[in-house]
Amino acid sequence: MHGTDLLMLLVGSLAITALARRLNWSAPLLLVAVGLAVSYIPGMPTFEIEPDLILLLVLPPLLYSAALDSSYLNIRANLRPIGLLSVGLVLATMTAVGFVAHMLIPGLSLAAAFVLGAVVAPPDAVAAVSIGRKLGLPRRTMTILAGESLANDASALTAFRVALAAATGEAAVSFGSSVTMFLISAVGGIVIGYVLGVVVHAVRMRIGDGVLESALGMLVPFGTYLLAESVHTSGVLAVVVAGLYLGHNAPRAGYATRLQETAVWRSADVLLESLVFALIGLQLRSVITADISTPVVVGAVTVLVVTIVIRFVWMFPGAYVPVYLSKRIKSKEDQPGWRDIVVLSWAGMRGVVSLAAAAAIPPTMPGRNVILFCTFVVTVGTLLIQGLSLPWVIRKLGVRGHEQQADNLAEAQVQHRAAEVSVTRLDEAIEERAAPEYIVERLRSVAEMRGNAAWERLGRQETESPAAAHRRLRRVMLEAEREVFVAARDAREIDDEVLRRVLRELDLEEAKLTRDE
């Protein structure tokens, strides 16, 4: 892929994503659909997925960003169901797909079929989480989806390496050696990710410079992945653990670092996700040109069906059997509703990791083209079939979270307590060093306003609350201040450096007003 082609792809992907957001459509699905259509345009350049590019430059930052934004405490509370999906279901999918593909596709050896099973085993929750967030899925459901997506790539890629070694004859692979390789990869990745997370957090706490702290954070996913992979452990799992640790400890870092990292990683997410979903769609032409016979097409469609069905077959027993068999699990976990299980079962869309793994298969391996074709059918099929229908399934079943009111109540209680503590600290600071009375009264007013705003969110009314009026009027004032400073810059009364400094202060205040809504 030439630099100009890549630039065109990035610009086009962002334009489609912008259109999807404006129309309130699913950006990943629209990108895949447009990519499919564009791939047939005569003269269109060939866009091929480079496995090294995806596995090093795309997957680590996406996983790291998702881990930063995840809740370590919620994931730990749901570790059992997440583990059943990210490890158990991955291996079950690999096994079921492997045997079915071997029986239906002529000439595909059992070892190669297991490679295919490992490739299509890990779901990608980007589209599902995006849909679930818009439709207000329960928090536990969202946690399980996100947690599964963070961990299943590691187990699938490890299983892929074991199956590939057996299929290519690089090593004699037994059940015992496979388990050992899997455990070493997982444990090693966890240890490396945790150690690097601790070290990076300690270093950042001592830097005291938000820009440098953010720059160091941008190196973490790539450095962690490379280090873990260099010692033959799971780079994916290492990145996830480092991200979870740093995200959990982010409140102890400086405010500038949090503001900058949030903006940087959200922008990176949009860019990379747009790129990879567009690449999925654009792969169609190159995959179809392979020598694909009718039995292979039938086998690929059957693999797609098996991939979808095995998730249902696994989900219901995995959700209910442990709860009924173990009193400890029953006492610690809420019994899931069948509607939630259906939504989780239907949210099994595949993504770019599957295509990247398939592209990484050596060209000399027998059955490579068949595996690539089947992987493409499963990936695009799940995105279009499940992705398009998932919002309908969620609405039809009426699955919605009810945490908002409880969250607002808890926030109001803690905010009230925080306002009281802040006023107490204010009084203590005044005793140590006096301050003008009007400054003190203004600060007391700010504390009271923040405390009242949290309570007002508990019951939105048609009439405008005092806090809402304050936000509306303060925005008007902020916009007026910006206009004056911009006009002063244009008139050469102040320098651009002064304008940027003032705009940052005004922007931070407006961001705080938006957060308080």
Closest CA to 15 of 209, 318, 340, 275: 275
What does the pLDDT read at residue 337? Answer: 86
The Cα–Cα gap between 342 and 393 comes to: 9
CA dihedral 46, 48, 53, 55 (to 10 degrees): 160
Residue 121 near residue 97 (C-beta atoms within 8 A) = yes
The whole-number pLDDT of residue 397 equals 92
SS3 category, 435:
coil
Give me the pLDDT at residue 55, please: 81
Helices (H), 171-234: 175-207, 210-230
**AA identity, residue 39:** S
Q: What is the pLDDT along the chain (517 residues), one digit of tens a residue?
A: 567 778 888 999 999 999 998 888 878 888 988 988 888 888 777 777 777 777 888 889 989 998 998 888 889 888 999 999 999 999 999 999 999 999 999 989 999 999 999 999 999 877 788 788 888 888 889 999 989 988 888 889 888 988 888 888 765 566 677 778 888 888 999 999 999 999 999 998 888 787 888 889 999 999 999 999 999 899 999 999 999 999 988 887 777 778 788 888 989 989 988 988 888 888 777 776 556 788 999 999 999 999 999 999 999 998 888 878 787 777 777 777 899 999 999 999 998 788 888 888 888 888 888 998 999 899 989 988 998 899 999 999 998 877 766 776 776 777 777 878 888 888 888 888 888 888 888 888 877 777 776 666 665 555 666 767 777 888 888 888 888 888 888 888 888 888 888 888 888 878 777 655 5
Phi, psi (rounded to 5 degrees) for 32? -65, -45
Q: For residue 367, give both structure tokens.
A: 């059955």
pLDDT tens string 304-339: 999 999 999 999 998 888 878 787 777 777 777 899
pTM above 0.85, yes or no: no
pLDDT computed for residue 456 by the predictor = 64
Domain positions in the chain are: 3-400, 402-460, 470-517
Which helix (DSSP H) or strand (DSSP E) does residue 507 occupy? helix 496-515
The CA distance from 221 to 63, in Å, is 8
Tokens 């099973």 identify what position?
117
What's the chain's Rg over C-alpha atoms? 26
State the amino acid at position 46 in one-letter form.
T
Using DSSP's 3-state secondary structure scheme, residue 214 falls into helix
DSSP-derived 3-state class of residue 95: helix
pLDDT score for 335: 76
Task: Categorise residue 169: left if φ over 0, alpha if ψ from -120 to 50, beta otherwise.
Answer: left
The closest of 285, 287, 381 to 40, measured between CA atoms, is 285
Among 156, 155, 177, CA closest to 166: 177
Name the class of domain 3-400.
Answer: mainly alpha
**What pLDDT sits at residue 390?**
92
Long-range contact set of residues 296-301: C-beta below 8 Å, sequence gap at least 24: 296/105, 296/106, 296/370, 296/373, 296/374, 298/104, 299/100, 299/101, 299/104, 299/105, 299/108, 299/374, 300/105, 300/373, 300/374, 300/377, 300/378, 301/377, 301/381
Can you give the pLDDT at residue 238?
95
Tokens of 183: 């455990």
Helices of type H across 39-138: 51-52, 59-68, 72-77, 79-83, 90-104, 110-120, 126-135
Token pair 């508990």 is at which residue?
458
Residue type at position 319: A
